Amino acid sequence: MYALITGASKGIGKEITIELAKKKFNLILIARSASQLEDVAKEIQEKYAVKVQFLAADLSAPDAARTVYKWVEQNGYKVSVLVNNAGYGAAGNFDRFTIEQNRDMMNLNMITLTEMCQVFLPMLKNHSQSYILNIASSTAYQALPQMAVYAATKIFVLNFSRALKYELKDSPVSVTCICPGATDTNFNDRADIPPKAREAAEKVVMTPQEVAKISVDAMFASKTEVIPGFINKLGAFLAWLAPKAITEKVAAGIYQ
């Protein structure tokens, strides 16, 4: 049996891969960089003695999920764990970005994630027990000025995951959604997060290893929704409790 992980070449995705290797799962790694995937595959094979396959693919491309599934099927791999980790954000006013830039983000964060669940679901249902792990974000709990599209995509991931979990309650497939807060990865650099927001995040930042361990444990415990870290849980509660206009003003002040 294989666990398939998207965005597996670095950050939380790589650490989830390692957690699954520790549990002796064979692995299928998906990300854009073939060289980075090759390095991760070699490292894990040597350390954990599991089979590691990888495919370099742009998951923001249309029909990326079908491309991945076709490759998996042609090679005869049987997937019992699907981890949809790939995703990214971009900071700035909505009209700073082109239609194409926003579309690529929405494609990766929402559409490919949804379609990966859809194309792999029949295979997952063929096992006595299988799992889907979707990575959202603590931004799923509020609108986020300066990261409007990104936060909205994560709201989608959380609500889609919860609904899918309910629909599959009488099946062998368990669905878990993880909503991490600030994590020590290259997310901030790629998203071009401003200094003020980075400074605020430094006070509550978690390591990708911590987030990955919590995520994998939650998945195998069949939990529905998990926010790693007490401060992140508190932040989500306060965002729910406070008037939306206040949370949006505070967030805008941090990200401007």
Would you please indicate which residues are annotated as catalytic (active-site) residues?
150
Pairing of strands 173-178, 52-56: unpaired
Rounded Cα distance between 176 and 134, Å, is 6
E-assigned strand segments in 32-105: 52-56, 79-84
* 43 burial type by CB count under 10 A (0-12 exposed, 13-18 middle, 19+ buried): middle
Q: Is the dihedral of CA 165, 118, 24, 55 positive or negative?
A: negative
52, 34, 33: which is closest to 43 by C-alpha? 52
Rounded Cα distance between 49 and 235, Å, is 40
- Which residues, at least 6 apart from 80, have a Cβ–Cβ distance to it below 8 Å? 1, 2, 3, 124, 127, 129, 130, 131
- Which residues, at least 6 apart from 39, have a Cβ–Cβ distance to it below 8 Å? none
Q: Which residue type sits at 115?
A: E
- Which residues, at least 6 apart from 110, have a Cβ–Cβ distance to it below 8 Å? 153, 156, 157, 160
* 244 burial type by CB count under 10 A (0-12 exposed, 13-18 middle, 19+ buried): exposed
